[in-house]
Amino acid sequence: MRQATAMANAAGLVTGYALDALLGDPRQWHPVAGFGRAAGALEQRIYRPNRSAGAAFTVLAVGAPVLLGVAATLATRRRPVARAALVAAGTWTVLGGRTLRHESTVMARALRDGDLPAARGRLNHLCGRDPATLDEPELARATVESVAENTSDAVVAPLTWGALAGLPGLLGYRAANTLDAMVGHRSPRYARFGTPAARLDDLLNLVPARLTGLLTIAVAPAADGDRRAAWRIWRRDRNDHPSPNAGQCEAAMAGALGVRLGGRNVYFGRSETRPFLGDGPRPEARHLDRAARISGAVGLVALGLAAAYPLTVGRLVGAAARSVLRHVAAAGTRHGSTGGGTRHGVMGGGTAYRAVGGGARRRPTPGAGLASGDGAAGRVGAAGRVWRGSGR
pLDDT at site 388: 58
Dihedral sign for Cα atoms in the order 266, 268, 272, 278 = negative
Dihedral sign for Cα atoms in the order 29, 30, 36, 42 = positive
Dihedral pair phi/psi, residue 198, rounded to 5°? -65, -40
User: Which tens digit of pLDDT belongs to each residue from 12-58?
Assistant: 999 999 999 999 987 777 889 899 999 999 999 999 999 999 999 99
Q: At what angle do helices 157-183 and 80-94 cross, to 10 degrees?
A: 50
Dihedral sign for Cα atoms in the order 20, 203, 377, 273 = negative
Domains of the chain, residue spans: 2-305+373-387
Measured distance CA(143)–CA(259) in Å, rounded: 13
pLDDT at site 330: 76
pLDDT at site 6: 86
User: Which tens digit of pLDDT belongs to each residue from 47-94?
Assistant: 999 999 999 999 999 999 999 999 999 999 999 999 999 999 999 999
103 has pLDDT over 80 = yes
pLDDT at site 317: 62
pLDDT at site 61: 98
Dihedral sign for Cα atoms in the order 256, 259, 263, 267 = negative
Decide if 207 contacts 169 (C-beta within 8 A).
Answer: no
Percent of the chain with pLDDT over 70: 82
Mean pLDDT along residues 377-386 = 48
Measured distance CA(106)–CA(89) in Å, rounded: 27
CA distances from 382 to 39, 98, 185, 339 (A): 16, 16, 21, 71
